[in-house]
Structure 1
Amino acid sequence: MAQGYISIFATGGTIAGIAGSATRRDYRPGQIGIDQFLDSLAELDLGVELRGQQFANIGSEDIGPELWQRLHDAALAAMEDGDCQGVVITHGTDTAEETAFLLDQTLPTAKPVILVGAMRPADAVGSDGLRNFANAVRVASDPQAAGRGVVLVMSDRIFAARDARKAHTEMTDAFKGFPRGPIGHVTPTSLEWFGPAWRVGEGSRYEFHLDMPKVSILYAYAGMSADNVKQAVEGGAKGIVLAGFGHGNAPRAIRDALAQVVAQGVPVVRASRVDEGLVDREPEDDSANFVAARALGPARARILLQLLLANGISDPARIQDEFSRR
């Protein structure tokens, strides 16, 4: 491994969680501090200096814009430090895809930024945290990891932030990547990339904003009332993501109500509540000025729409262009 150090940004989550018993189902996330965590790694002899900072020690369900801002600014500072090889962020798995995608879109790609978590707390039978972390450090230490944007490392696999999503509630291989699947395989002793880096030398795609516009996600269900759309707009939504049936579909009353809010200047993105598959444009999108989410699920579609609106991009055609190039 090359000389230098890896910055570790700790935010808590299951990887820092304690159950108090090796077999208890319930546990408390974010109980182990970064210093204690790094001490437990000493015997692994990872071959690189690790410098840790404790940003938070919470479950990722409580992560939001203020912590994102701090992580973003610290990652930018790490990019400018010539001795820093890369950044590893320990993070709960529940919202890892949102944090990863937001940072992926707002950071340059000069150095690796890796999110890593665990599905089992540190004192559970078969805890996966230390192995996942060792794998993340190996990825961060590899010069070929640069130019791939932010990545997520879990269960010996590497996922691009544009693809990663949590797809199981408790299995250790809980994450999937769509549409590209994993972009690499990693263990504490090996690393293989499945293709070349695709963002070499690329700067940040969008400027980070702490106060991003509110974007609501509407989850489609049978018998859904158009009042859901009205309530979202009255609640301050500046954009709406539809987590629709199948190919981003919804009851006719919902589609008509969404077309009305688009005419009022509130962009609407059609995504799908289905686990996999593209949401492509369809004829009604042209007449209603809807945006098709393409490969992005509702959570990441919301983040992208927030970033676009925060950066002054509100025209549906422009928004569609940005979604289509993910």
Structure 2
Amino acid sequence: MTGRHIKIFATGGTIAGKAGSATGREYTPGQIGVEELLAEVARLDLPARLFGTQFASIGSEDIGPALWHQLHRACVSASAEDDCLGIIITHGTDTAEETAFLLDQTLPTAKPVILVGAMRPADAVGSDGMRNFANAVRVAADAEAAGRGVLLVMSDHIFAARDVRKARTEGVDAFRGFPRGPVGHVTPTSLEWFGAPWRTGEALRLEFHQNMPKVIILYAYAGMPGEDVAAAVRSGAKGLVLAGFGQGNAPAEVRSALAQAARTGVPVVRASRVDQGLVDRELDDDANGFIAARALGPPKARVLLQLLLANGISDPVRMQAAFDRR
């Protein structure tokens, strides 16, 4: 393989889905293989050579550690190729933020790695997949994409992995960013960045581990008993993330059970079930041994806690520092 190119790693998702009807609601993800996708893309006259590999043909609700390991290994290998401009991963939207964040924390960030998906299957009226893909190619081929970590491209927006989350169940404009909104705007014919690269020259953050510790998210609800915490610990959880009320709050019984878990060496991160907002440290966090998730929602807080534990980082002070700088 010679010449400057972009690697495409396909995993399935709605971008590769078919409904069999232009107006049907139900569809099956991952029906279009990467070769068929690239054949369709070839007609768009995009400014880059593309080479594809099919890793999976599934909805992203079924993506987990095994596929993360494959993608991580492939991204490391591709980024070491001098002629590789960047990497695009086609991915379902349900867990795209988790895959993006995991790779962002564990990959060298010099070359762009772009996740892209769709909210409508390929044969639906108003399908957004091809436009999103064309936009992702434009981003991956742009020299100024380097040093920005892993990105997600959807609906003409470019999001950083740290910020992005799926905020709507339908509609093509389904993703939001917090604390930053989009970091750039892209169309098939234009690209504008809203700031300078923020990860230039930064070393690898955390080593990837295929077998990461079990971390459970506990979703707070009115009347939640402390037994929910004890049950999670008994199940083998090595860490807990509270998707709490407001700024990471929970009933007194639950907070007491979480503090007990932290005293026995099970790290506890307070996050929020609210759509956006910071979860800052509280006065009781030192006494309880809790970690504040800051800007990370529960899914990303879980990924980061897994990575920290896998890298031998269990001290609450060091863990809090990691959450503060994400």
Question: Which amino acid in structure 1 is aligned with residue 311 of structure 2?
Answer: N
Matched residues in 1 for 2:235 and 2:210: separation? 20
Secondary structure (helix, strand or coil) at the match of 2:26 reads coil
Question: Where does residue 179 of structure 1 map in the other structure?
Answer: 179
2:209 pairs with 1:205: no
Aligned 1:63-142 pairs, distance under 5 A: 63-142=63-142
Matched residues in 1 for 2:289 and 2:193: separation? 39
State whether residues 9 and 55 of structure 2, in contact with CA within 8 Å, keep that contact through their aligned partners in structure 1.
yes
- Could you tell me how far 1:201 is from its partner in structure 2? 2.0
State whether residues 107 and 203 of structure 1, in contact with CA within 8 Å, keep that contact through their aligned partners in structure 2.
no
Matched residues in 1 for 2:83 and 2:55: separation? 21
Question: Where does residue 145 of structure 1 map in the other structure?
Answer: 145
State whether residues 148 and 198 of structure 1, in contact with CA within 8 Å, keep that contact through their aligned partners in structure 2.
yes
State whether residues 89 and 114 of structure 2, in contact with CA within 8 Å, keep that contact through their aligned partners in structure 1.
yes
State whether residues 88 and 115 of structure 2, in contact with CA within 8 Å, keep that contact through their aligned partners in structure 1.
yes
Question: Which amino acid in structure 2 is aligned with residue 221 of structure 1?
Answer: Y
Matched residues in 2 for 1:93 and 1:273: separation? 19
Q: What percent identity do the matched residue pairs reach?
A: 72
Task: Name the TM-score, length of structure 2 as normaliser.
Answer: 0.99
Question: Where does residue 235 of structure 2 map in the other structure?
Answer: 235
2:248 pairs with 1:248: yes
- Could you tell me how far 1:107 is from its partner in structure 2? 0.2
Question: Where does residue 37 of structure 1 map in the other structure?
Answer: 37
Matched residues in 1 for 2:287 and 2:202: separation? 35
Question: Where does residue 287 of structure 1 map in the other structure?
Answer: 287
Question: Where does residue 23 of structure 2 map in the other structure?
Answer: 23
Which shows bigger deviation, 219-228 or 200-209?
200-209
Question: Where does residue 273 of structure 1 map in the other structure?
Answer: 273
Structure 1: tracts of 5 or more residues without a match: none
Matched residues in 1 for 2:148 and 2:8: separation? 19
2:9 pairs with 1:9: yes
Secondary structure (helix, strand or coil) at the match of 2:270 reads strand
| Per-residue Cα deviation, 1:53-97 (whole angstroms, up to 9, x for no partner) | 000000000001111011001101111100100000000000000
Matched residues in 2 for 1:204 and 1:58: separation? 29
Secondary structure (helix, strand or coil) at the match of 1:44 reads coil
Secondary structure (helix, strand or coil) at the match of 2:173 reads coil
Number of residue pairs matched? 324
Task: Name the TM-score, length of structure 1 as normaliser.
Answer: 0.99
Matched residues in 1 for 2:318 and 2:171: separation? 39
Question: Which amino acid in structure 2 is aligned with residue 211 of structure 1?
Answer: N
- Could you tell me how far 1:202 is from its partner in structure 2? 2.0
- Could you tell me how far 1:38 is from its partner in structure 2? 0.6
- Could you tell me how far 1:203 is from its partner in structure 2? 2.8
Structure 2: tracts of 5 or more residues without a match: none
Secondary structure (helix, strand or coil) at the match of 2:43 reads helix
Matched residues in 2 for 1:41 and 1:198: separation? 31
| Per-residue Cα deviation, 1:92-140 (whole angstroms, up to 9, x for no partner) | 0000000000000000111000000000000000000000000000000
| Per-residue Cα deviation, 1:201-226 (whole angstroms, up to 9, x for no partner) | 22321100010000000000000011
| Per-residue Cα deviation, 1:245-268 (whole angstroms, up to 9, x for no partner) | 001000000000000000000000
Question: Which amino acid in structure 2 is aligned with residue 63 of structure 1?
Answer: I
Matched residues in 2 for 1:203 and 1:138: separation? 26
Question: Where does residue 305 of structure 1 map in the other structure?
Answer: 305
